[in-house]
Amino acid sequence: MALLINNDVTARVLDMQDAVDAMEKVLKQYAQGLATFQPRTDLWAPTATDGDYYRWGSLLGAMYDPPTLALRFKSDILTWTEYDDAVTEEWHNMEPGTYCGFIILIDMSNGEIIALMNDGIIQHARVGATAGVGAKYLAREDASVLGVVGSGGMAYAYTEAICCVRNIEEIRVWSPTPANREKFAADMTEKLGIPVKVVDSNPDVADGADIVALCTDSRTPVYTVDMMKAQKPGGLVIRCRVDELDEPVYDEVDRIIGNQQESYGEFVIGSQQERDRRPGGKAYRRRYEKNDYPMLANVINGDAVGRESDTQTIYYDNNSAGLQFAAVGRVVYEKAKEAKLGMKIPMEWFQQDIRN
């Protein structure tokens, strides 16, 4: 029997510390050749609505222990909104406010599909947990002040995960929507028992911070060289989306660590002009380029150097990897099975007696 696991079940069984531990374990396996993934593939197509695009995105990852493969896919209609000198990317499935992201989880010991899962809670947890592992290995050990840009789901996940690995005593947050940032501050103060302060502007987040977490859907930079220099010596910045970082920051930081070196796959239906017409045009380019950054997995395994001194400024390029869904998805599946949660699905739905 496979399990159908929705977001409600995932929220009940998944603990952020467990997600952080699972990500640290799978990244070490990756460095040892015991886990693998395909870089994200995006297929783009202009829709019948002027200015909108359809995007199919998929990630695939597998690990040896426990032997698990995960395929995560999403089906989005994308739109872009400009306000307060920023461009944000919004997406939905069928209608605004609904989304389609799904995970197929397979036990590689016998090829069995063991779970069909909503990706909403896991999506935030797997990225936040990886940011937490990055903070564990790349932030100064005495880091105590966290600045957060953004107040949505990723901001919650990044904040909780980073607090799992560092003794954070102060958190400050800023996002463009006052109600959202106030709610984030109240929610996280209550959940973590750590005071969360709403600051007046984006640069104020970084002023004197040890770690800055970028957790937005912005298509324009929200982190600049001036913000980097305003952090404490030896600061760490962790992104969620590649567009959040202003281009000069790449040349000013002392060290860049990433999750993968291969480029994302991108396929566009239409002409070159159609490709260039997408809002954010040039902002997409770095995402689809290869890089030679040392990988966090190799830092964990002792094959690469992470932080070399307490004064070194580090940018952690927390890009997506499909093995995140294998690691965190397996944790959720095992906990849901133990708790007897989720809807049972008969294997006959997936098996046949015709050889393919």
pLDDT above 70 for 276: no
Confidence (pLDDT) at 219: 78
pLDDT above 80 for 25: yes
pLDDT above 90 for 308: yes
Task: Report yes or no: 250 and 256 within 8 Å, Cβ to Cβ.
Answer: yes
User: What pLDDT, in 10s, does the model give residues 116-165?
Assistant: 999 999 999 999 999 999 999 999 999 999 999 999 999 999 999 999 99
Burial letters for 20-51: b for 16+ Cβ neighbours within 10 Å, e otherwise?
bbbbbbbbbbbbeeebbbbbbebebebeeeee
pTM check: above 0.85: yes
Distance between alpha carbon 276 and the CA centroid of its chain, in Å? 26
60 vs 270, residue with greater confidence: 60
Q: Residue 157: how many CB atoms within 10 A of its CB? A: 26
Task: Report yes or no: 233 and 299 within 8 Å, Cβ to Cβ.
Answer: no
pLDDT above 90 for 85: no
pLDDT above 90 for 299: yes
Confidence (pLDDT) at 288: 60
Q: Which backbone phi and psi does 9 adopt, to 5 degrees?
A: -65, -45
pLDDT above 60 for 284: no
User: What pLDDT, in 10s, does the model give residues 2-11?
Assistant: 999 999 999 9
pLDDT band of 325, cuts 50, 70, 90: very high
Alpha-carbon distance 134 to 161, whole Å?
A: 10
Domains of the chain: 2-122+323-349 (3.30.1780.10), 140-263+285-317 (3.40.50.720)
Confidence (pLDDT) at 223: 95
Measuring CA to CA, which residue among 287, 15, 251 is closest to residue 125? 15
Supply 290's token pair: 């290869």
Alpha-carbon distance 203 to 300, whole Å?
A: 31
Measuring CA to CA, which residue among 74, 80, 71 is closest to residue 120? 74
pLDDT band of 42, cuts 50, 70, 90: confident
User: What pLDDT, in 10s, does the model give residues 202-260?
Assistant: 999 999 999 999 999 887 899 999 999 999 999 999 998 888 999 999 999 999 999 88
Q: Which of 25-29, 77-81, 138-142, 325-329 has the lowest mean pLDDT?
A: 77-81
